Amino acid sequence: MSGEETSPDHSCLQVWQKLGGVSKLAFAARSLTGTTGWNGTGHGQVAVSRENGHTLLFTETGKWHPRVDSGKAAPRNPALDFSNIYRWTLHDPPRGISLSHLRYGRQNPVHLAELVGDPENRCHMKSATPHLCNLDQYTLDLYADDECLTLLWKIQGPAKNEQLTCRYS
C-alpha cells in the first residue's frame, strides 16, 4: 500500500463512503458508575439524504428499551419512540468530518464532534476535542469495518460516567 492509502485523508474518505450507505442503527447505553437511568438498548432505521456533495443528513427513527441495573427490561418502562436528525459534513480537502445534531432545526445545529483520522489505524477516527455540554464532556471514537460503522461515545462529568455504543449498517 502506498502512504496515501493509509493516510488520515484516505480513512476519512472511506468513512464518508460508508456513511452514505447507512440504513439501520442499533445502540446500547450504559452507566459505568452510579445510576442515571441511561441504561438500555435501541434500534431503528436511518434515512440518509444529501444536502450537497459534502453534507449528509441522517434522519433516525426507532425504539428505545430502558433497562434496570439487573439487565432485565424495566417493567413500567415500555419501549419509547425516538427520533433524531444529524448532519455529517465532509471537509474539503477531506481531512475530517463534522457531526452536528439538529435538535433545534437545520439553521441552529449543535456541533458535537470534529472527527479526524488516526494515522496509526486507517479504520479509526476520533474527536479532535471533547464536546462540552454544561459540566459534561463528550468524546467520540468511530471505527469502520466491512459490516458497519461503530460510534463509541464516552460521557463524563460530575454526575455522569456513561458509554453509548451505536452501530450503523
pLDDT, mean of each 10-residue run, the chain (169 residues): 49 89 96 74 97 95 82 66 97 87 95 90 90 92 94 91 95
Which pLDDT does position 1 carry in this prediction?
36
Burial class of residue 117 in the structure, from the number of CB atoms within 10 Å of its CB (0-12 exposed, 13-18 middle, 19+ buried): buried
Which pLDDT does position 39 carry in this prediction?
87
Name 42's Cβ contacts closer than 8 Å, sequence gap at least 6: 25, 26, 27, 28, 29, 62, 63, 64, 65, 82
Measure the CA–CA gap between 123 and 20, rounded to whole angstroms: 16
Measure the CA–CA gap between 130 and 117, rounded to whole angstroms: 15
- Whether domain 3-168 has CATH 3.10.450: no
Instruction: Residue 152: name the closest of 160, 161, 163, 144 by CA.
Output: 163
Domain definitions of the chain by residue range:
3-168
Which pLDDT does position 37 carry in this prediction?
63
Which pLDDT does position 5 carry in this prediction?
45
Give the global pTM: 0.86
Measure the CA–CA gap between 94 and 9, rounded to whole angstroms: 6
Which pLDDT does position 13 carry in this prediction?
85
